[in-house]
Amino acid sequence: MKIHLLNLIVNMCRYTLCVWAVQTICATVLFASHPVEGQKLKDIRVQVAQSTMSLAQALKTIESQTQFKFTYLSGELAMQKRISLVSQSQSLELILQSLSDQAQVNFTRINDQIVVKKYHKGKGQNAAVQEKRQVSGTVSDADTGEPVTGASVYVSGTTLGTITDVDGKYKITLPEEAEALVFSFVGYQKKVVTIGEQTIINVALEQDATELEELIVVGYGTQKKVHLTGAVSQIDAKAIENRPISNLTQALQGAVPNLNITFADGRPGSTGNLNVRGNNSITGGSPLVLIDGVPGSLDMINPRDIASVSVLKDAASAAIYGARGAFGVILVTTKNAENGKMKVNYSNNFSWSRSTVSTDFIDNGYDAARMIDEAFLRSTGKTYTGYSDADYEELLKRKTDPSLPSVVVDNRKGKDMYVYYGNTDWWSTMFRDVQPSMEHSLSVSGKSDKIDYYLSGRYYEKKGLMQINQDKYSSYNFRAKINAKVNPWLNLSSNTQFNSSKYTYPGWGVNSNFVYVTVHALPSYLPVNPDGTATYRTELNNYTIGDGIYADLLHGKSKGGENDFEFINTLSATADIAKGLSLVGNYTYHLNPRSTFSRRTEAPWSIYPGEIQFLGKDVLSEAMYRDQYHVFNAYATYVKTMGKHSFSVMGGFNQEMKKYKKINGTRNELLSEDLNAFDLGSGDQVIQGGDSEWAVRGIFYRVNYDFEGKYLLELNGRYDGTSRFPKDRRFGFFPSVSVGWRVSEEAFFEPVQKFVSDLKLRASYGELGNQQVATYSYIPVLSNGTLSYINNGAKMQYLSLPSPVSTNLTWETISSTNVGVDFGFFQNRLTGSFDWYQRDTKDMLTKGKTLPAVFGAGEPKENAADLRTKGWELVLRWENDGQLAGKAFSYSTGFVLSDYTAEITKFDNPSRLLSDYYVGQTLGEIWGYSVDGYFKSDQEAAEYQVDQSRVNKMINSSPGEWGQLRAGDMKFMDLDGDGAVNNGKNTVDDPGDLQVIGNSQPRYAFGITGSASWNGFDLSVFFQGIGRQHWYPGTNADKFWGPYSRPYFSFIPEDFNDKIWSPENPDAYFPRLRGYTALGSDRELGVKNDRYLQDLAYIRLKNLTIGYSLPETVLNKIKLSRCRIYFSGENLFTLTKLDTKYIDPEQAAAESNGRVYPFSKTLSVGLDLSF
């Protein structure tokens, strides 16, 4: 490239010299030394022969003595106006200035043209004589000679520029101070050309070698992207920067095709569940996560430290990890020092979050009580609240006049007590609307010839949802990477990280999900009595008020917490012992102690004025966990190129061992509510614990070969052993092969390279083993316990016989086939890839053949099932740059789409019972009944000739008139015509009236990205979603079913009344109101049916960021190298098919009832500084 550039410069110099020589011979004396284009007007002399002449004569005189030509609009100028000039040799600049003053005209020079325009007084005209130059030329591809369309051309140091046309041509008018032009285009190296005296500048752009040499992180090394033959996706730091997130999993969701990430809830610091390419095994399984080559967690790492994330998806790319990589591998690479002197980066982010769904619930005491009592009455024959007609009159008064007292003291059951007539918004009472968070991050790096270092630290804090005793998550991260070049052939490095996180919350036994446990909090009830005491019961019924949670929160002594600490250190040595041969050895020690804490105290409450009672028990529980992980790797790599042949061989050894220990204790009746120590307890104490350990050992290899960079071959393999299987079945060999063909490098492809700039075909096949099974599944284990019998003053201990285990347990084997294509169009402005894969998981560990009851124990687990997963994924990206309003503008957009399905191909269920897996089953199938609307009248319901008792158990057991079907009840369809709605024999061959109505697996996961930058401003947008996923609401889905499940649920949507069937509302969404009809799989709403099946398909604006970076001129004055402020939004809006605005689609997918800590949408502002 340097030689080509030098030749270009030499040729341009030769051309310039030739032009200069010709002009020297042919030109007049006035411009004999230089071409007119290179001279200033003040340096050009003109001889005026007479003192008075017309403007037209003056212009002709100048044209006759110079190479200039005057251009003007005919009729605009007074060409016969008489002009007076001094009869002598003068500079052209002075002559034009004189003409301008006398003829009221302006002159603008553009190369050898001088434009004359009429001068209008009072309109802020520029100088009378302006000198401008114009440069034109063609931009082409240095290799092919083809014109480059849309290339950016601008004046160096300014935003003045243009773009090339379809023929690669450009024309640009230069300001007087212009010195150089900059030429750039996506996929090519930027080129700067000094203008000098040139008016035609043709440029040949070289392809960007950095793009062609882009390295992808793979197992135990890196590979050039163009040589990659496996299914690997990689994103860099730009895809995850500047987002208000607590951990890396939140940033990766939707960014990588077929990396499926779900979250159990929206709790601060909540971690994601990872899956690569769909269902792996019916026994579960998750991908291996390696951070700088060492097993780790995406939840603990500092997102600001990330340089890139690679996902190895097929067996060919993951085979080198053997037993650990059966379900994909995620490789996280952290940042290193940049070249040059010390650099300091600081960033912060301040955010405010609120729920992604509506939190507007019924807070009218009268309406809620009526609805709840009606639902309860129709199922039980009595009311729930215990309110009398007089009480309802009082409630109705407060509906129209909220100023009336919400609590009165009345004599009930012979005793004065509090009676509640409130209009309480329990959600706002319990939970906050806005939760703030903040992040501060600092890094220091530097690099010299002998040593480089990267130090970083981060603090993140997010406050939670709770109104009283607010929950809070905080985390600290610290990393120190140091690399020393001991001598020309030896490098030593150390990579150390400390991570710590803490989550504190108000305690409530073992469940910190207050959204789930807050029940029985009716709007008519109040959280606090007039004397300040908490409420717990009404004594009008046998139920509590909010299960006493608010009383406990108000007391403030019950607490809970989770602490997680992590220390990881990796020591590495790299030796370049010969040309092309290097040795790498590293050892990692990983310590991960964790602890949980829960303190429950007795909380005071009152129902009778002046009397205090207590609820709950005084219990302290603590648990401590300790993980120790040791990893040792040693491997060698040899690289050799011989003519058109390139080889790379790598082989090595890996040993990993993990030790786990747990101890937990519980004690009650502590002496203090404020001091949490087991020694202060007087009640029974229970101490439990356990430990385990496992290890893997393997040797691995990788062989790469390419011929002319066009024909690619890769072989991977690993001979692996694990302690999780019997000694004679611990080892297995897992090979893979992949091939590639760079079609675009073939000679026959040249005619279409103008449009198709890159085309590569890939294919791979490989096998992997799965060792993600129980640590001691092959060993019969005795279980112990304590009997209630007392012997010698103590409870008796016992040991039970172990369950039988199979002696033939061995690896689950995963074989994977992948075919793919990588492509690029229009000089790689449009790039993408498509992959299709099939994965067979064989010998899955599950229960064996059914044994007779006389055996006395359950079936031992065996390798007895197979699963096949098929899927595909598509990646597209468009990027370009150009000019907008005369300033440099660049933009890009991307799209990822993936899908998969999984089918059982082997399982011991000869009857094909629907209650278990069966051959041919598509995982996620939802079997349900069909509904033909509602009965339109009581008569129609009574005369319906189909027996619905199988799905109407709650109605059948209701008292009196409510124990029969009525108008507004659901009408189920008898599909098999046997006169009854049932599930037949509950088999595939005889399902009765059941049929597949949906599938709970996510389909068509997608992500859409877009970015742009202009004049210091930058914009990025990210949409993410699912194309289809079915969900049938769980029996406790309160925000969906409302009083149809438990009539006394606390949070009933405010619009729920409008959805209930009545004679006046016959087309309502829900049937006649009956409590508990959703609370069971044999009840009309609880049984799965096609009327209430939900589609969780959604598209979400996952992130929107707008930023502004100060220009370099300002940065130089304030001594900064970078200063950027940005505004960002996370989960800003969601479009979904759900029939409710109170449940987030991700929330429903995470938990069948959707009763989880709410997911959040976040607004934030941040600052990035570099010194």
**938-978 confidence digits (pLDDT tens):** 999 999 999 999 999 999 999 988 999 999 999 999 999 99
The Cα–Cα gap between 905 and 925 comes to: 15
The per-residue pLDDT for 10 is 39
The Cα–Cα gap between 61 and 52 comes to: 12
Contact 873, 838 (CB under 8 A): no
Please indicate, yes or no, if residue 1154 is contained in any of the structural domains.
no
The per-residue pLDDT for 121 is 54
The Cα–Cα gap between 266 and 1143 comes to: 12
The Cα–Cα gap between 405 and 105 comes to: 87
282 and 236 part of one domain: yes
Other CB atoms within a 10 A radius of the CB of residue 296 amount to: 22
Please indicate, yes or no, if residue 751 is contained in any of the structural domains.
no
The per-residue pLDDT for 857 is 66
Q: Which residues pair with 348 in a beta bridge?
A: 440, 1167
**Domain final residue pick, 1053, 1087, 1121:** 1087
Which amino acid is it at 688? Q
| pTM, full prediction | 0.82
Which amino acid is it at 388? S
The per-residue pLDDT for 783 is 78
The Cα–Cα gap between 554 and 614 comes to: 13
Pairing of strands 232-236, 306-312: antiparallel
- In angstroms, how far apart are the furthest CA atoms of the chain? 139
The Cα–Cα gap between 382 and 373 comes to: 8
226 and 179 part of one domain: no
pLDDT over threshold 70, residue 95: yes
Domain region containing 165: 135-208
Q: What is the separation of C-alpha 190 from the centre of its chain, rounded to a whole number of angstroms?
A: 33
| Virtual torsion, Cα 383, 386, 389, 393, nearest 10 deg | -110
User: What ranges in 648-751 are assigned the alpha helix state H?
Assistant: none
Query: What mean pLDDT value characterizes the chain?
Result: 88
List pLDDT tens digits, range 1070-1106. 999 999 999 999 999 999 999 999 999 999 999 999 9
The per-residue pLDDT for 23 is 35
The Cα–Cα gap between 546 and 525 comes to: 9
Least confident of 407-411, 658-662, 752-756: 752-756
Other CB atoms within a 10 A radius of the CB of residue 1117 amount to: 9
Question: What value does the mean pLDDT take over residues 904-922?
Answer: 95
Question: What value does the mean pLDDT take over residues 1123-1139?
Answer: 95
User: What ranges in 769-897 are assigned the alpha helix state H?
Assistant: none
948 and 1055 part of one domain: yes
Contact 189, 205 (CB under 8 A): yes
602, 765, 628: which is closest to 692 by C-alpha? 628
The per-residue pLDDT for 211 is 52
- Whole-number Cα distances in Å, 936 to 968, 971, 1087: 6, 10, 21
Percent of residues in the chain assigned helix, strand, coil, to nearest 5: 15, 45, 35
Which amino acid is it at 1037? A
**Domain final residue pick, 338, 363, 391:** 338
948 and 1079 part of one domain: yes
Q: What is the separation of C-alpha 304 from the centre of its chain, rounded to a whole number of angstroms?
A: 15
Question: What value does the mean pLDDT take over residues 1026-1050?
Answer: 95
DSSP 24: H
The Cα–Cα gap between 785 and 799 comes to: 7
The Cα–Cα gap between 174 and 155 comes to: 8
Question: What value does the mean pLDDT take over residues 1025-1043?
Answer: 96
The per-residue pLDDT for 22 is 37
**Domain final residue pick, 98, 127, 156:** 127
List pLDDT tens digits, range 661-679. 999 999 999 999 999 999 9
List pLDDT tens digits, range 119-149. 765 444 445 666 567 899 999 988 778 888 8
- Whole-number Cα distances in Å, 1123 to 343, 345, 644, 1013, 1159: 14, 10, 48, 15, 32
Please indicate, yes or no, if residue 700 is contained in any of the structural domains.
no
Question: What is the number of residues in the chain?
Answer: 1171
Pairing of strands 1122-1130, 221-224: unpaired
944 and 1069 part of one domain: yes
Pairing of strands 129-141, 203-205: parallel
If you search the block for the tokens 């603090």, which residue do you land on?
459
DSSP 1064: T
The per-residue pLDDT for 910 is 92
The per-residue pLDDT for 29 is 33
Element (H, E) at 661: strand 645-668
188 and 256 part of one domain: no
| Cβ-based burial of 31 (10 A; exposed 0-12, middle 13-18, buried ≥19) | buried
pLDDT over threshold 60, residue 36: no
Least confident of 152-161, 862-871, 886-895: 152-161
The per-residue pLDDT for 30 is 32
Contact 423, 406 (CB under 8 A): yes
The per-residue pLDDT for 70 is 84
Per-position b or e across 85-98, b if 16+ CB within 10 A of its CB: beeeebebbebbbb
Write the CATH number for 52.
Answer: 3.55.50.60
149 and 203 part of one domain: yes
DSSP 474: E
75 and 221 part of one domain: no
303 and 175 part of one domain: no
Least confident of 336-345, 614-623, 909-918: 336-345
Higher pLDDT residue, 264 or 1032? 1032
DSSP reduced 3-state for 617: coil
pLDDT over threshold 90, residue 32: no
Banded pLDDT at 805 (limits 50, 70, 90): confident
- Percent with pLDDT over 70 in the chain: 92
DSSP reduced 3-state for 389: helix
Write the CATH number for 168.
Answer: 2.60.40.1120
pLDDT over threshold 90, residue 164: no
Angle, helix 55-65 to helix 92-103, in steps of 10 degrees: 160
Which amino acid is it at 26? C
1067 and 940 part of one domain: yes
Please indicate, yes or no, if residue 592 is contained in any of the structural domains.
no
pLDDT over threshold 50, residue 150: yes
pLDDT over threshold 70, residue 512: no
198 and 170 part of one domain: yes
Write the CATH number for 318.
Answer: 2.170.130.10
If you search the block for the tokens 């325009």, which residue do you land on?
117
pLDDT over threshold 70, residue 42: yes
Banded pLDDT at 45 (limits 50, 70, 90): confident
Banded pLDDT at 1135 (limits 50, 70, 90): very high
Task: Report the chain's terminal Cα–Cα distance, integer Å.
Answer: 34
Question: What value does the mean pLDDT take over residues 1046-1061?
Answer: 94
Please indicate, yes or no, if residue 258 is contained in any of the structural domains.
yes
Q: Which residues pair with 1022 in a beta bridge?
A: 1009, 1103
The Cα–Cα gap between 57 and 83 comes to: 9
Please indicate, yes or no, if residue 458 is contained in any of the structural domains.
no
If you search the block for the tokens 């002709």, which residue do you land on?
60
Contact 1093, 1032 (CB under 8 A): yes
Q: What is the separation of C-alpha 746 from the centre of its chain, rounded to a whole number of angstroms?
A: 38
Higher pLDDT residue, 124 or 805? 805
pLDDT over threshold 90, residue 1043: yes
Pairing of strands 129-141, 105-110: parallel
The Cα–Cα gap between 571 and 292 comes to: 12
Higher pLDDT residue, 55 or 626? 626
Other CB atoms within a 10 A radius of the CB of residue 470 amount to: 15
Tokens at residue 940, please? Answer: 């129609």
- Percent with pLDDT over 90 in the chain: 61
Question: What value does the mean pLDDT take over residues 506-521?
Answer: 75
Which amino acid is it at 385? T
- Whole-number Cα distances in Å, 39 to 66, 79, 538, 980, 1026: 12, 27, 99, 102, 66
- Identify each DSSP E strand in 677-782 by its residue range: 685-707, 711-722, 731-742, 756-770
Pairing of strands 887-906, 861-884: antiparallel
50 and 105 part of one domain: yes
pLDDT over threshold 90, residue 316: no
Please indicate, yes or no, if residue 298 is contained in any of the structural domains.
yes
- Whole-number Cα distances in Å, 176 to 45, 108, 110, 155, 707: 21, 12, 11, 11, 53
389, 378, 241, 254: which is closest to 308 by C-alpha? 241
If you search the block for the tokens 């004189």, which residue do you land on?
98
The Cα–Cα gap between 900 and 406 comes to: 56
Per the structure, the count of domains in the chain is 4
Other CB atoms within a 10 A radius of the CB of residue 168 amount to: 20
The Cα–Cα gap between 1076 and 384 comes to: 13
Least confident of 347-356, 571-580, 723-732, 870-879: 723-732
The per-residue pLDDT for 366 is 97
The per-residue pLDDT for 21 is 38
Please indicate, yes or no, if residue 773 is contained in any of the structural domains.
no
If you search the block for the tokens 């829960």, which residue do you land on?
598
572, 558, 569: which is closest to 621 by C-alpha? 558
| Virtual torsion, Cα 699, 702, 703, 706, nearest 10 deg | 180
The Cα–Cα gap between 508 and 552 comes to: 8
Higher pLDDT residue, 792 or 864? 864
| Virtual torsion, Cα 545, 549, 552, 554, nearest 10 deg | -80
Contact 290, 311 (CB under 8 A): no
The per-residue pLDDT for 614 is 95
